[in-house]
Amino acid sequence: MSDDPPLKHSFGFQQVDADERRRRIRHVFEVVAPRYDLMNDFMSFGIHRLWKRSVARQARPSAGQTIVDLAGGTGDVARLLAAPDREVLLVDPSLPMMRAGRRKGLEHIRLLAASGEALPLADASVDTLTIAFGIRNMTDMEAALAEIHRVLRPGGRCLCLEFSRPLALIRPLYHLYSFLVIPRLGARVARQPAAYTYLVESIRRFPDQEEMKALMLQAGFERVRYRNYSLGIACLHLATKAG
C-alpha cells in the first residue's frame, strides 16, 4: 500500500495502550450513533444497503440456526437475518448504537453488549457469524478472529464485510472523496467531523484483500475467499471453520 498518501491525523489512536484506544473508539461510536445510519446513506449514496443485503444472502440463514451479527451496531444486517424460527444475536460494545437500532425495531433479535475480543459465548455454539464494517475497529483484530473461530461450530461460517483496497483506476478519486468529502459530511450531517476523520483513517489502515485473507487463514479458517463490491471499495471475506 506504498502508493497511498500518508495519514495526516491520528487523534492519538496509535500512541495509546489497548484500553485507552478501546475507550476512544467507543466514544467515537457514542457520538455518531444518533445519525450513524443517515451518514452511511450519505457517504455511500445508499450502496452500503446493497452490500449488506448481499451478505445476508450469502449467509443463507435457516431455521434452527444460531446466528451472530458481531459489531452489529444499529442492526442493519441482523434485521436481514432475523426470523422467528432461528436465534439471531446482535453483539456490539456500544449501547448507544444498539439503542439507536432499537428505535428502528429489532424484532426476533437478542441484544448482547460485548466486544469482539472477548465474546461471552460458548465454544462451538454459533452456526454463522457476520460482521459488517466492524472488524477494523477492534483493538486486537487477531484476537477477534480467534474468538470468532472459537465460537463457531465445526463447519460454521464467518462472513466479514469491510472496506478494502479499490482498483487502481479509481483509487485517487476514492482517496480524494474519503479525505475531503466525508469529514465535511460528518461536520454537516452528523456534526462530528473528527469522528468521521478517524473512521476514514481506520479504513486506510485496514489490510487489503489478500492481507485479510492471510489473517483469516492464520486464525485457523479454511476455504477463505473474497469477493469485491464496487470495484474493491468494499470486500466480503468468507471463511469456514474446519470440520
Rounded to an integer, the average pLDDT of 108-114 is: 97
For the chain, strand residue ranges (E) read 66-70, 87-92, 109-113, 126-132, 152-163, 221-229, 234-241
DSSP string, 95-113: HHHHHHHHHH--TTEEEEE
Nearest to residue 128, comparing CAs of 38, 240, 13, 3?
Answer: 240
Nearest to residue 131, comparing CAs of 165, 94, 162?
Answer: 162
181-193 tens-digit pLDDT: 887 877 776 676 7
Question: Which residue in this structure is represented by grid cell 468468507?
Answer: 238
At 190 the pLDDT is 62
CA 183/CA 189 separation, integer angstroms: 10
Asked if residue 76 lies in contact with residue 52, where contact means CB atoms within 8 angstroms, the answer is: yes
Nearest to residue 97, comparing CAs of 43, 30, 162?
Answer: 30
Does 203 have pLDDT greater than 90? no
Taking all residues of the chain, what is their mean pLDDT, rounded to a whole number? 88
At 17 the pLDDT is 65
Taking residue 184's Cβ as centre, other Cβ atoms within 10 Å add up to: 12
At 114 the pLDDT is 96
Q: In terms of CATH, what superfamily is 19-27+46-165+207-241? A: Vaccinia Virus protein VP39 (3.40.50.150)
Specify the DSSP class assigned to residue 160.
E
Query: 75: which 3 cell numbers?
Result: 442492526
At 88 the pLDDT is 98
Rg (CA), the chain: 17
For 45-101, strand residue ranges (E) read 66-70, 87-92
Reported as a pLDDT band with limits 50, 70 and 90, residue 31 is confident
Helix, coil or strand: residue 228: strand
39-48 tens-digit pLDDT: 888 888 999 9
115-164 tens-digit pLDDT: 999 999 999 999 999 999 999 989 899 999 999 999 999 999 999 999 99
131-145 tens-digit pLDDT: 999 999 898 999 999
Does 6 have pLDDT greater than 80? no
At 3 the pLDDT is 43
Rounded to an integer, the average pLDDT of 92-107 is: 94
Look at strands 234-241 and 152-163 and give their pairing. antiparallel
At 115 the pLDDT is 94
Reported as a pLDDT band with limits 50, 70 and 90, residue 38 is confident
Domain ranges of the chain: 19-27+46-165+207-241
Rounded to an integer, the average pLDDT of 70-94 is: 97
Nearest to residue 80, comparing CAs of 157, 34, 72?
Answer: 72
CA 78/CA 74 separation, integer angstroms: 9
Reported as a pLDDT band with limits 50, 70 and 90, residue 229 is very high
Helix, coil or strand: residue 54: helix
Among 10-14, 79-83, 218-222, 238-242, whose mean pLDDT is lowest? 10-14
